[in-house]
Structure 1
Amino acid sequence: MTSRQPIRATDRLSSSEIDDVLALAAAAAEADGVYPLSEDVVLRVRNGGGTHHLAPGGVGYAFLEDGAGELVVHPGHRRRGIGTDLLAAAGPGPLRFWAHGDDPGAAAFAERAGFTRDRVLWQMRRSLLEPLPEIPLPEGVTVRGFRPGHDEQAWLGVNSRAFAHHPEQGRWTLDDLLAREREPWFDPAGFLLAVDVTGTLVGFHWTKVHPAEGTDPALGEIYVLGVDPAGHRRGLGAALSVEGLRHLAAAGLTRSNLYVDESNAAAVALYRRLGFTVFKTDISYRR
Structure 2
Amino acid sequence: MTRIEAEFSGAEHAAPDTAALADVRAVVAAAEAHDDRPPVSDQAMVAAAQGRRLVARFTAALEGEELPRPAAVGIVGDGEIDLVVHPDARGRGIGSAALARLLEGATMPVKAWSHGVNPAADALLQRAGFSPVRELLRMTLDPALLPHGDPIEAPDWLSITPHTSGSAVEAAAWVAVNAAAFADHPEQGAMTLDDFAALTREEWFDAADLLLAFDSRGDGAERPAAFAWVKTVVTPASQTALGGTECELYALGVHPDEAGAGLGRILLDRALRRMAEHDPDRISLYVDGDNERAVRLYERTGFTVDQRSRQWVKENGRHE
Q: Structure 2 length as normaliser, TM-score?
A: 0.81
Match of 1:146 among 144, 163, 181: 163
Q: Which residue type is aligned with residue 144 of structure 2?
A: L
Shift of 1:97: 0.5
CA distance in 1, matches of 2:269, 2:2: 60
Higher mean alpha-carbon deviation, 218-227 vs 132-141, is at 132-141
Q: Which residue type is aligned with residue 135 of structure 1?
A: I
Render the CA deviation track for 1:75-101: whole Å, top value 9, x for unaligned.
Answer: 425314423423433623311001222
Q: Which residue of 1 is the match for residue 65 of structure 2?
A: none
Pairwise mapping of residues 54-73 of structure 1 onto structure 2 (< 5 A)?
A: 54-56=57-59, 58-73=70-85
Shift of 1:33: 4.0
Q: Which residue of 2 is the match for residue 79 of structure 1?
A: 93
CA distance in 2, matches of 1:263, 1:285: 16
CA distance in 2, matches of 1:213, 1:250: 19
Native 8 Å contact 2:48 2:54 kept in 1: no
Higher mean alpha-carbon deviation, 124-133 vs 228-237, is at 124-133
Structure 1 265/96 Cα, relative in aligned 2: closer, same or farther at 3 Å?
same
CA distance in 1, matches of 2:291, 2:2: 49
Q: Indicate the SS of the match to 1:106.
A: helix
Q: Which residue of 2 is the match for residue 113 of structure 1?
A: 128
Q: 1:173 aligned to 2:192?
A: yes
Q: Structure 1 length as normaliser, TM-score?
A: 0.89
Q: 1:43 aligned to 2:62?
A: no
Could you tell me the percent identity over the aligned residues? 33
Match of 2:214 among 188, 195, 213: 195
Render the CA deviation track for 1:149-206: whole Å, top value 9, x for unaligned.
Answer: 2311122111111110000010000110001111232222221111123322111111
Render the CA deviation track for 1:18-50: whole Å, top value 9, x for unaligned.
Answer: 222223223433444433222222333444321
Q: 1:123 aligned to 2:138?
A: yes
Please report the RMSD computed on the Cα atoms of aligned residues, expressed in angstroms. Answer: 2.5
CA distance in 2, matches of 1:168, 1:84: 22
Match of 1:101 among 92, 111, 116: 116
Q: Which residue type is aligned with residue 210 of structure 2?
A: F
CA distance in 2, matches of 1:253, 1:24: 26
Higher mean alpha-carbon deviation, 272-281 vs 67-76, is at 67-76
Structure 1 90/266 Cα, relative in aligned 2: closer, same or farther at 3 Å?
farther
CA distance in 1, matches of 2:208, 2:30: 34
CA distance in 2, matches of 1:277, 1:18: 35
Shift of 1:248: 1.4
Shift of 1:7: 5.5
Render the CA deviation track for 1:122-142: whole Å, top value 9, x for unaligned.
Answer: 111112322539632234212
Return 5+ residue gaps in structure 1 as ranges. none
Higher mean alpha-carbon deviation, 108-117 vs 228-237, is at 228-237
Shift of 1:212: 3.6
Q: Which residue of 1 is the match for residue 66 of structure 2?
A: none
Structure 1 90/185 Cα, relative in aligned 2: closer, same or farther at 3 Å?
farther
CA distance in 1, matches of 2:157, 2:16: 48
Native 8 Å contact 1:122 1:260 kept in 2: yes
Q: Indicate the SS of the match to 2:46.
A: helix
Deviant stretches of 4+, over 4 Å: 1-7
Q: Which residue of 2 is the match for residue 262 of structure 1?
A: 289
Equivalent residues, number: 287
Higher mean alpha-carbon deviation, 144-153 vs 127-136, is at 127-136
CA distance in 2, matches of 1:253, 1:73: 30
Match of 2:178 among 159, 162, 174: 159
Q: Indicate the SS of the match to 1:58.
A: coil
Native 8 Å contact 1:125 1:257 kept in 2: yes
Native 8 Å contact 2:230 2:248 kept in 1: yes
Structure 1 29/3 Cα, relative in aligned 2: closer, same or farther at 3 Å?
closer
Higher mean alpha-carbon deviation, 99-108 vs 172-181, is at 99-108
